[in-house]
């Protein structure tokens, strides 16, 4: 009988023996990370979870044999948005330690390919450091991605999709987030309350200080959200449609399928010690010693450990 690990993409729906099978299959683990945060008068507080989780699930349904989606990290770093009711902030240290602990747990069990799929802009610097630390403090590889960046893999996608101004039309509760949410959970959009909103400092047309989801000025001030918007909407939400959300979803899923398929079997790059004399003490920051990580020259197959004698279906090319 085939293990359910071959067809289930939701991590928490597996049993522990099936987790052993998933490890044998070299599955990539995707951890959606978001925030509970205001998204204007028309979108619920869970936008930054619904979007990355929806895309990860859509990808999992296509390539369940290659990946697992972890339960999302709901609470993110959003201290600058606390002037809006409903926003839940976690201290950046709490947030980073929690996500790092998830990555370390996965690595300890034997998953060696992890992706943090982020849905909340201000998580990015925190998760960047988490991914770096996970790479140095475990023998797994951990990559940070943001769902909207999947739309930039094909340089022709966004120019053919976007109607709003740049910069500022796509930033927060905007043309992009509203479209995707309309597609994924349209019943929960307050459609009669959709209104555009400006980022007030963008209107100064200053070459240094401006922002958008797809770029920002070279010296942009990251300040209290309530100081540059009244409604909490940053962008042209009135241009959003569910049909545009479907196009975004299809494109993001397509690119995430490509990514996971590539990442899963890519052998880990080799470390080489350049010291003439080998260091005489342990790495002082909890990082992995050079020979702790077993090299997997032929990809994940060589980390294959036995799993209760259960047969795992052969992996496709
Ligand atoms: Zn958002």
Q: Average of pLDDT values for 24-40?
A: 98
Q: How many A from CA of 268 to the centre of ligand 1?
A: 33
The torsion angles phi and psi of 278, rounded to 5 degrees, stand at -60, 140
Which letter, b or e, does each residue of 142-164 get, where b requires 16 or more Cβ atoms within 10 Å of its Cβ?
bbbbbbbbbbeeeeebbeebbeb
DSSP label at 298?
A: T
pLDDT at 299: 45
Q: How many A from CA of 167 to the centre of ligand 1?
A: 16
| 63-107 residue pLDDT tens | 999 999 999 999 999 999 999 999 999 999 999 999 999 999 999
- Contacts by residues 153-156 (CB-CB < 8 Å, ≥ 24 positions apart): 153/255, 153/258, 154/251, 154/255
| 150-185 residue pLDDT tens | 999 999 999 999 999 999 999 999 999 999 999 999
Q: How many A from CA of 108 to the centre of ligand 1?
A: 32
Q: Are 300 and 265 in contact (CB under 8 A)?
A: yes
Work out the pLDDT band at 261, boundaries 50, 70, 90: very high
Q: Are strands 67-69 and 141-146 parallel, antiparallel or unpaired?
A: unpaired
Work out the pLDDT band at 290, boundaries 50, 70, 90: confident
- What's the CA gap between 174 and 129, in Å, rounded? 27
Q: Are 147 and 117 in contact (CB under 8 A)?
A: yes
- What's the CA gap between 296 and 170, in Å, rounded? 41
Q: How many A from CA of 100 to the centre of ligand 1?
A: 22
| 218-241 residue pLDDT tens | 999 999 999 999 999 999 999 999
**Cα 123 → chain centroid:** 10
Q: How many A from CA of 173 to the centre of ligand 1?
A: 6
Q: How many A from CA of 280 to the centre of ligand 1?
A: 48
Alpha-helical segments (H) within 167-228? 175-185
Q: How many A from CA of 21 to the centre of ligand 1?
A: 35
Q: How many A from CA of 244 to the centre of ligand 1?
A: 17
Please name every residue paired with 113 in a beta bridge, in sequence order, or none if there are none: 141
According to CATH, what is the number of the domain 4-267? 3.40.50.10310
Work out the pLDDT band at 306, boundaries 50, 70, 90: very low
- What's the CA gap between 195 and 211, in Å, rounded? 19
Q: How many A from CA of 300 to the centre of ligand 1?
A: 35
Cβ-in-10-Å burial (0-12, 13-18, 19+) of 61 comes to exposed
| 205-218 residue pLDDT tens | 999 999 999 999 99
Q: How many A from CA of 39 to the centre of ligand 1?
A: 6
User: Would you call 123 helix, strand, or coil by DSSP?
Assistant: helix
Q: What percentage of the chain has pLDDT greater than the value 90?
A: 89
- What's the CA gap between 119 and 76, in Å, rounded? 10
N- to C-terminal Cα distance for the chain?
22
- Measured from the Cβ of residue 317, the count of other Cβ atoms closer than 10 Å reads 4
| 103-139 residue pLDDT tens | 999 999 999 999 999 999 999 999 999 999 999 999 9
pLDDT at 302: 40
Q: How many A from CA of 47 to the centre of ligand 1?
A: 6
Nearest to 130 by CA among 93, 85, 78: 93
pLDDT at 303: 43
Q: How many A from CA of 303 to the centre of ligand 1?
A: 38
Q: How many A from CA of 119 to the centre of ligand 1?
A: 7
Q: How many A from CA of 98 to the centre of ligand 1?
A: 20
């Amino acid at each position: 009988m085939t293990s359910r690990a071959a067809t289930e993409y939701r991590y928490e729906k597996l049993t522990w023996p099936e987790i052993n099978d998933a490890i044998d299959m070299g599955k990539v683990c995707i951890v959606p990370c978001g925030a509970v945060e205001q998204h204007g008068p028309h979108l619920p507080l869970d936008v930054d979870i619904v979007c990355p989780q929806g895309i990860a699930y859509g990808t999992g349904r296509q390539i369940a044999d290659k990946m697992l989606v972890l339960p999302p990290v709901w609470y993110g770093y959003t201290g600058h948005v606390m002037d809006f009711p409903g926003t839940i902030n976690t201290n950046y240290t709490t947030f980073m330690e929690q996500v790092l602990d998830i990555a370390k747990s996965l690595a300890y069990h034997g998953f060696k390919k992890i992706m943090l799929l982020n849905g909340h802009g201000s998580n990015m610097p925190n998760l960047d450091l988490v991914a770096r630390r996970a790479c140095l403090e475990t023998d797994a590889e951990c990559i940070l991605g943001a769902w909207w960046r999947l739309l930039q893999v094909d340089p022709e996608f966004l120019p053919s999709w976007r109607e709003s101004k740049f910069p500022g039309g796509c930033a927060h509760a905007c043309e992009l987030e509203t479209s995707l949410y309309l597609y994924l959970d349209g019943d929960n959009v307050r459609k009669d309350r959709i209104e555009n909103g400006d980022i007030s400092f963008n209107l100064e047309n200053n070459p240094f200080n401006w922002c958008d989801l797809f770029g920002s000025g070279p010296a942009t001030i990251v300040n209290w959200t309530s100081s540059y918007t009244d409604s909490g909407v940053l962008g042209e939400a009135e241009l959003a449609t569910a049909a545009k959300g479907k196009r975004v979803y299809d494109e993001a899923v397509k690119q995430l399928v490509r990514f996971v398929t590539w990442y899963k079997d890519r052998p880990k790059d080799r470390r080489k010690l350049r010291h003439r004399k080998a260091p005489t003490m342990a790495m002082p920051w909890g990082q992995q010693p050079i020979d702790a990580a077993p090299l997997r020259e032929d990809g994940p197959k060589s980390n294959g450990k036995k799993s209760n004698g259960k047969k795992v279906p052969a992996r496709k090319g």
